Amino acid sequence: MQLDLLSIAAHPDDTELTCGGTIIRMVQAGYKVGLLDLTAGESGTRGSASLRARESSRASRVMGIVYRENLGLPDAALEHTQEYKLKIAARIRALRPRTVILPYWEGRHPDHYTAGQIGYEACFLAGLARVPLAGKPFRPYKIIYASMYMPSLRPTFVVDVTRQFEKKLKAVLCYSSQFSPQKDIQNLFPSRADLRERVSSLARHFGLMIGVRYGEPFVTREVAAVDDVVTMPVRSI
């Protein structure tokens, strides 16, 4: 399989929350889109590995992606090991995505930022001919970082997901194990009733940056190239 776009994330539901609208938009544009979850979320406070696997299957059907795999690395224990990097690199060689989405390289959860760091290094290793991996060397053309949960960070660009927002929310709601009861007000586990407000407020924040209702932010390490400065979107004044 050759994918146009592959999102690599630490846990089931990470992609849906951080860039699910973009995933859906690219599916609707006709691209082959896949997800690679590094862990099953088995160490999380809520749910179980088997339950979260069923939830991710439902969310995948909602988004319309053509491929999803869980690499089975240990939850809450992602580390900078050559073994983990090579496992990710092997999937990159097999799937050959043109663009890869990674988690932003800083954050609260160690698994999140570690996934971004080892994901980048795996993309590099996948292109080395003498690395002990099956398949032909391959390196993604573009790597972008989902930065939804870094609201103080200025994004490189924002994707308009206004038309995809309701479907994104439907995909997120597939993970019912991660919601709190209505009476439980723990900050990390919003209730189902509160989830829409929490997800929409962040998407609204980034949407306002580009003059749309809902947006999802991304960061790149490299400078973007623009071919046509006459037709660039988003008004300056």
pTM: 0.93
Query: Which pLDDT does position 210 carry in this prediction?
Result: 96
The domains of the chain, with CATH numbers, are 5-219 (3.40.50.10320)
Query: Which pLDDT does position 81 carry in this prediction?
Result: 97
**What secondary structure does DSSP assign to 117-163, as a single string?**
HHHHHHHHHTT-TTSS-SS-----SEEEEE-TT-TTSPPSEEEE-TT
In the predicted model, is pLDDT for residue 226 greater than 80?
yes
Query: Which pLDDT does position 211 carry in this prediction?
Result: 95
For the chain, the distance separating the N- and C-terminal CA atoms, rounded to the nearest angstrom, is: 45
Cβ within 8 Å of residue 143, ≥6 positions away: 99, 100, 102, 120, 123, 220, 221
| Burial (CB count within 10 angstroms: exposed 0-12, middle 13-18, buried 19+), residue 189 | middle
pLDDT band at 128 (very low <50, low <70, confident <90, very high): very high
pLDDT band at 164 (very low <50, low <70, confident <90, very high): very high
User: What average pLDDT does range 128-148 have in this prediction?
Assistant: 97
Query: Which pLDDT does position 190 carry in this prediction?
Result: 67
Query: Which pLDDT does position 115 carry in this prediction?
Result: 97
User: What average pLDDT does range 15-40 have in this prediction?
Assistant: 98
